[in-house]
Amino acid sequence: MITNKTLKLSLKSLRDFAKKRLPDQELIDLDERDECPLDIVRYMCSPDKLGIQLLFVPEEFGGMGGSTFDVYRICEEMARIDLGVATSLFATFLGSDPITVGATPEQKNKWLSRIADEGVLFAYGATEPEAGSDLGSLKTTADPVVENGKVVGYKINGSKQWISNGGIADLYTVLANTPSGPSWFVVEKGVAGFTHDKPEDKHGIRLSNTAALAFNNVYVDADRLVGGVEGQGLLQAQAVFGYTRLMVAAFGLGAGWSALDRAIPYSTKRIQGGAPLSEKQGYTHKLMVPHIARLEAARAYIEETAERIDTGEGSLNTEGAIAKYMATEAGNAAAEASIQALGGYGYTHEYMVEKIKRDVRITTIYEGTSEIMEMTISRDRWQLHLKTRGQHYHEQARLMEALHVRNSEVGADMAALAMHALSEVMEKARVARLTRYQHILLRLGELIAYAECAGCLSRRAARLAENKLNEKANSRFDAAALAALARIFAREASLKVAEEGLRWVVGAGGVSDSEMAGFEATLRLPAVHRAQAGLIADMDYFADVLFGRTVKHPELRTETEAVLSV
Ligand SMILES: Cc1cc2nc3c(=O)[nH]c(=O)nc-3n(C[C@H](O)[C@H](O)[C@H](O)COP(=O)(O)OP(=O)(O)OC[C@H]3O[C@@H](n4cnc5c(N)ncnc54)[C@H](O)[C@@H]3O)c2cc1C
C-alpha cells in the first residue's frame, strides 16, 4: 500500500531526477542520435536508486504494491518527462504482467522478486510480423520436449516484431503456440538460438529501444511455461488489458499536457497583433481550451476506472479501452495544436513540442490501436444495449439528470442529452441492422466513448465541488474551473453524438424519408443546439483561469463584458 505522502514523494523524486538527468537538450540529443539511455533506464529501475519499478511489484515480492491509481499517476508523470523512457519502464511492467496474473506462486516468487531485488528489465513479446491486432494468428511455436513420457521443456521457433526493450531486456515473456494453444514463456537473454535485431529507426519514442526478436530452436525448461498449463496465454493477456490500457491512457494524458504546458507559457510572452497570444480568443479557444477539456474528460475516465479496478470490480477491459481511446486521441490532438500554437518555433527541434508530437503518436497504436479500441467499446456496449432492450444509455442519462438536480453547474444535463441521443442512435442501428457495416460499429464506439466521458467528467466536477475527490487525484483545477470544462466537453459530446449519430444512421440507409422527422425528434436536436448557449462564456472563463487573470464566474459576466472581451 502506498500512502498519498509516498506517492507525492515518488512523483517529486521523478521530477527532480528528470530535471537533473534529462534536461531538454539531453532529450533532443538522444532523440537525434536515436539512442536509448540505458544507464538512465537502469538507474530508474534499480531498487537502491530511483526504484520506480518497486511501485509496480506486489509487496509480497519485495515491491511497494502500488494501486492502479498510483500507477496511473506515475505513468502520467513519466510521460511528461519522455515517452520513450516511459515506454522502456512500462515494458518491464507489461512483460511481467503475464507472470503477475498467471504464474504459479514459485514462478511469481522467482521472477517478480528479481524486478524488486535486482531491477531486471523485461520485454513483452506478443506481436509478430503477421500478427498485430489479430494476435490469434501468431506463428511462433513452442514444441514440447518429452523425456520418459514427461514434458521436460519446450523448443521455441519463430519471430517477434516491434518489441520494446527488445535489445536491452534481461528477461522476455514470449507468446508462442503450444499443442494446446498460445502460452507465455519466460526466456532469458543470451540463451542459445535467441537473437534480437538492431533497434528500429522510428518516427518517435526514439529514446526507447524497439527491436525484432528471433527464436531458432530456443530450448527452455518446462518451468518457464507461465502458470504451468498450456493454452492460457490469450486469457492471461486479456486479464490485464483494462489495467495496461489505462497506463497507456495515462501516457497520452501526460504527453498531451506536457505539450500544452510548453505552449501555455509561450503564449503569454509571444506578442503578435499588439498583445500576448494568450489574450487572443481565436488562439486560446481553438488551440488550448477544447484540448484541455478533452484531456480532462479522459482523466476523469482514467481516475474513475482506476478506482473501480482498485475496489475489485474486475479487469474493466472496455473501460480501459475507452480511457485509452479518449486520452491518446486527445493527447495527439493537443500535441498537434501545441505545434501550431508555437508557430514556426513549434516546427523546430529546440522547442520540444514537435518531439512530443512524434512521441505521443505511438499511443494510438501500441497496446491496441484506436480502431481496435473502437471495436472493443462498441461490441461490449452493444451487448448492454440489447440486454437492456435499448434502455442502458437512457438509464445513464436519468442518472445524469438526477446529478443535474443536485449540481446544475457541471454539465450533467448536457451529458444526459448525449446519452439519450446515443440510446436512440443505437436503437435505430439495431432496428435497421446497421452494425453489419463495420464502419458504423466503429463510429458507435467513438460516440459511446464521448458520451461516457462527458458523464464521467460531470461526476468528477461534482465530486470535487463536494470535496469528495480521491486524495491522490490530480488537483490542478478548482471546482469552478473543472465545472466549466465539464460543461464545455458535455456540449461537444452531445452535439457530436446527436449530429454524427444522425449522419451515420442516415448514411447507412437506416432512416427512410418518412421516418426522418421522427428520428430527429428522438435525438432531441433542438435541445442539443440550445445547450450550446453559454459556450463562449465558459471558454472565456476557463481561459482566464488558465492564464491566472482576474475571473468572474461565467454567469456573472454581462453580455457587454462578453462582447468587450472579444
Ligand atoms: C514503437 C512500438 C513499440 C511496440 N512495443 C511492443 C511490445 O513491447 N510488445 C508487443 O508485443 N508489441 C509491441 N508493439 C506492437 C504493437 O502493439 C502493434 O504494432 C499494434 O498492436 C498494431 O499491430 P500491427 O502493427 O500489426 O498493425 P495491424 O494490426 O496490421 O493494423 C494496421 C491498421 O489496421 C487497423 N486494423 C487492424 N485490424 C483491423 C480490423 N479488424 N478492422 C479494422 N481495422 C483494423 C489498425 O487499427 C491499424 O490502423 C509495438 C509497436 C511499436 C510501433
Q: Which atom of ligand 1 lies closest to the CA of 367?
A: 17
Please tell me the total number of residues recorded for the chain in this structure. Answer: 566
Residue-wise pLDDT for 100-142, tens only, equals 999 999 999 999 999 999 999 999 999 999 999 999 899 999 9
Return the residue whose CA atom lies nearest to atom 40 of ligand 1.
372
What is the reported pLDDT for 264?
98
Residue 162 Cα to ligand 1 midpoint, Å, equals: 9
Q: Which atom of ligand 1 lies closest to the CA of 125?
A: 11
> Using an 8 Å Cβ cutoff, are 317 and 240 in contact?
no
135 lines ligand 1 (CB under 6 A): no
Instruction: Flag residues of the chain having pLDDT under 70.
Output: 551-566
Q: What are phi and psi of 271, to 5 degrees?
A: -95, 120
What is the reported pLDDT for 562?
44
Residue 225 Cα to ligand 1 midpoint, Å, equals: 25
Task: Give the helix/strand (H/E) hosting 360.
Answer: helix 353-360
C-alpha cell at 185: 514463456
Residue 134 Cα to ligand 1 midpoint, Å, equals: 8
365 lines ligand 1 (CB under 6 A): yes
366 lines ligand 1 (CB under 6 A): yes
Catalytic residues: 367
Residue-wise pLDDT for 251-304, tens only, equals 999 999 999 999 999 999 999 999 999 999 999 999 999 999 999 999 999 999
210 lines ligand 1 (CB under 6 A): yes
Residue 129 Cα to ligand 1 midpoint, Å, equals: 10
126 lines ligand 1 (CB under 6 A): yes
Using most ligand atoms within 8 A of CB, pick from 36, 124, 127 the residue to mutate for ligand 1: 127
Using most ligand atoms within 8 A of CB, pick from 93, 207, 369 the residue to mutate for ligand 1: 369
127 lines ligand 1 (CB under 6 A): yes
What is the reported pLDDT for 41?
97
133 lines ligand 1 (CB under 6 A): yes
- HEC-encoded secondary structure of 411-473: CHHHHHHHHHHHHHHHHHHHHCCHHHCHHHHHHHHHHHHHHHHHHHHHHHHHHHHCCCCCCCC
84 burial class (0-12, 13-18, 19+ CB within 10 angstroms)?
Answer: buried
Residue 368 Cα to ligand 1 midpoint, Å, equals: 6
241 lines ligand 1 (CB under 6 A): no
What is the reported pLDDT for 552?
60
What is the reported pLDDT for 272?
97
Say what the pTM is. Answer: 0.96
Cell match 531491477: residue?
119
Residue 371 Cα to ligand 1 midpoint, Å, equals: 10
